[in-house]
Structure formats: structure tokens, C-alpha cells
């Protein structure tokens, strides 16, 4: 059996996350933490309960032509996360309100729990590969 060389420590990989992850060997990552784009493309203004304005998407990297493109992007990077995780690897994914079950199902890992924010809204899927 040929062992993969160890991954370099303290490196930052810049660029499209799917392309960067595709260059890494399978089963080589202990932990994935991600706060992905929410596809928050607003046609008008959105305000929080305290009336502060929510910033919408203004950067080109965070824009999608529609839900199909966004879903394809999301399914692609989640599949790469699953491929990269070691058998006992963990994943922490920040999610939008109400997305916990869907993200867990797409990710395909064993869900260990959903972390909630101070308002009691599920905001993070915590999973394990096996």
C-alpha cells in the first residue's frame, strides 16, 4: 500500500473551493468547517428584528444565476467534503435557518447534532463521516 504524503500545515488554498478540494487526497482531512454562501440575492432590502439592514450579495463570487446553479455548487462542495474526510472526520457547517435536515441529507454523514444560535434557531450542522 502506498501512503499519501502528509498534507502541508498552515497553508491557505485560494480559489474556487471545489477545484482546491479536488487536488487533495481522499480521506486526508480531520475537520471541515464551512460558512458557505447562502444564495442571499435580494431584490429589495431585508431588515433584522432590530431594524438593522442585512447585507445582500454584492460580490461576483457569491452570485448564482438561479437555484439550480446554487444547488449544483452546494452539492459539489459537500461531496468533496465527504470525500476528503477521514473515516472518523468531523464536519461543522453553518447553515441558514431551516436548512439542517436538507444539508445533512445532501452531505451524507452521520448527523451528531444541530447547534442553535442565541435565538434558538438551528445554525450549524455537526456531522461525522462514519
Contact status, residue 36 vs residue 94, Cβ threshold 8 Å: yes
Mean pLDDT, the chain, whole residue set: 80
What pLDDT is recorded for position 80? 92
Strands 85-94 and 29-34: parallel
Residue-range domains of the chain with CATH: 24-39+60-128 (3.40.50.150)
Q: In what order do the strands lie in the sheet with 29-34?
A: 29-34, 85-94, 122-128, 110-116
Pick the residue with more confidence: 82 or 97? 82
pLDDT of 94 strictly over 50: yes
What pLDDT digit, counting tens, does each position of 11-55 carry?
A: 777 888 888 889 899 999 999 998 887 666 556 676 777 888 777
pLDDT of 128 strictly over 70: yes
Exposure string for 30-62, b = 16+ CB within 10 A, e = fewer: eebeeebeebeeeeeeeeeeeeeeeeeeeeeee
What pLDDT is recorded for position 84? 92
**Average pLDDT over every residue of 53-66:** 72
The pTM for the full model equals 0.73
What pLDDT is recorded for position 1? 43
Amino acid at each position: 500500500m502506498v501512503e499519501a504524503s502528509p498534507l502541508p500545515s498552515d497553508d491557505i488554498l485560494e480559489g474556487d473551493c471545489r477545484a482546491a478540494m479536488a487536488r487533495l487526497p481522499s480521506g486526508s482531512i480531520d475537520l471541515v468547517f464551512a460558512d458557505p454562501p447562502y444564495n442571499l440575492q435580494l431584490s429589495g432590502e431585508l431588515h433584522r428584528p432590530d431594524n438593522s439592514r442585512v447585507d445582500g450579495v454584492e460580490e461576483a463570487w457569491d452570485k448564482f444565476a438561479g437555484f439550480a446553479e446554487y444547488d449544483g455548487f452546494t452539492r459539489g462542495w459537500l461531496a468533496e467534503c465527504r470525500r476528503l474526510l477521514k473515516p472518523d472526520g468531523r464536519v461543522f457547517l453553518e447553515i441558514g435557518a431551516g436548512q439542517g435536515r436538507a444539508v445533512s441529507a445532501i452531505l451524507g454523514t452521520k448527523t451528531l447534532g444541530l447547534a442553535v444560535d442565541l435565538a434558538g434557531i438551528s445554525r450549524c450542522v455537526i456531522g461525522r463521516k462514519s
